[in-house]
Amino acid sequence: MRGYSSAVEARELSRDYISARRNRFVGRKRTTVVKALDNVSFEIQEGELFGLLGPNGAGKTTTVKILCTLLEPTGGHAFVKGYDVVKEAKHVRSIVNMVAGGERMLYYRLTGRENLTYFADLYDVPRKEVSSRVNKLLELVGLSERGNDEVEKYSKGMKQRLQICRGLINDPEVLFLDEPTLGLDVNIAKDIRRFIREEIVREQGKTVLLTTHYMYEAEEMCDRVGFLNNGRLVAVGQPEELKRKTPSGFSVELMVIRLTDDAFEGLKLLKNVTKVIATEYVGETEGEKIDRLIINVESDKAVPAVLDYMSAKHCRVVSVNLRGPTLEDLFMFYTGET
């Protein structure tokens, strides 16, 4: 095996799409260039679950396609286990696989078992291993009993579980999952997330690159994430690390009795406080009105100052809740969208 430092490496990767459109009136072709990826570099360590996040059109699928050899980059290089995805595409293909959500990459007239056997043949899985591998995969995703039914009779969640079996049929070292839970109901999506994390990554030690639009999914699953925006990688790191170093802020929720207009206005002027919103009236305690305040602060250091201030203004704080930034807040910060 070749020496390499990371399971996946993208080095200044770029991809332009050139589309030519003929002008209806003049008959002349006009070409436009879309920079789908612009100088993107990152690494994924072995056994890591890496999430590539970003809005529609950010370049996630383009990155996945390049890394699994379905598309060539127009600039830069990429390596899987040290093998060049362009110059050594054939070898890379034998050690990776890809599953996309909501796509038809299965033969609906064949049974689940026949589909997997067919894909095992395509990957040259040794004949004597095929049947046991297929059975094991069906069992892992809970499809053993439905293995002999035609795929057209499967529900969406069952089809997606079978897709994941297809992605594992060549026992890939690196698995690319492009929105694997797209369109699935909450419980099935949860099962699939657990399977990816516990079985594929923790148990089998595979490296996974996942794209998703669901921030809670990335938060729950990924060791590290990268944010892509307009083809550029704008941040990479562990979710917790990114939350610490991103000035997207915390918010503090305060329940207050005897809040005066003067105290409310003064709050906005405190150091590290960026925004104060008074929200709905939530009830009364001991006959006194309670106000709910959401205070955006740049760091949690502002909290004691806020509490001291409230006390100096004779406002009684009945509860304090600190809400740290979520991945969704980071997504907004890095891509300007929710």
Tell me the CA distances in angstroms from 39 to 10, 53, 232, 298, one per residue in order: 9, 17, 7, 31
Q: Which of 273, 209, 238 is nearest to 50 (CA)?
A: 209
Which of 1, 2, 3, 19: binder of ligand ATP (CB under 6 A)?
A: 19
Examine residue 182 and tell whether it contacts ligand ATP (CB under 6 A).
no
Residue 102 identity: G
Residue 281 identity: Y
Q: Which of 177, 171, 161, 158 is nearest to 218 (CA)?
A: 177
The stretch near Mg ion (CB under 5 A) out of 24-32, 55-63, 144-152, 169-177 is 55-63
Binding-site partner at residue 167 among ligand ATP, Mg ion, none, CB < 5 to 8 Å by type? none
Task: State the binding string over 58-77 for Mg ion (x if CB under 5 A, else -).
Answer: --xx----------------
Which of 23, 31, 56, 187: binder of ligand ATP (CB under 6 A)?
A: 56
Examine residue 215 and tell whether it contacts ligand ATP (CB under 6 A).
no
Q: Which is nearer to ligand ATP, 40 or 134 (CB)?
A: 40
Minimum distance, C-beta of residue 102 to ligand ATP, in the bound complex (Å) = 11
Examine residue 61 and tell whether it contacts ligand ATP (CB under 6 A).
yes
Which of 60, 113, 133, 197: binder of ligand ATP (CB under 6 A)?
A: 60
Collapsing DSSP states into helix, strand and coil, what is residue 185? coil
Measured CA to CA, the distance from residue 159 to residue 149 in angstroms comes to 12
Report the chain's terminal Cα–Cα distance, integer Å.
43
The stretch near ligand ATP (CB under 6 A) out of 52-60, 84-92, 94-102, 240-248 is 52-60
Measured CA to CA, the distance from residue 72 to residue 117 in angstroms comes to 29
- The number of residues in the chain equals 338
Examine residue 59 and tell whether it contacts ligand ATP (CB under 6 A).
yes
Question: Counting beta carbons within 10 angstroms of the beta carbon of residue 135, is it exposed (0 to 12), middle (13 to 18) or buried (19 or more)?
Answer: middle
Binding-site partner at residue 54 among ligand ATP, Mg ion, none, CB < 5 to 8 Å by type? ligand ATP
Residues forming the site for Mg ion (CB under 5 A): 60-61
Residues forming the site for ligand ATP (CB under 6 A): 17, 19, 34, 36, 54, 56-62
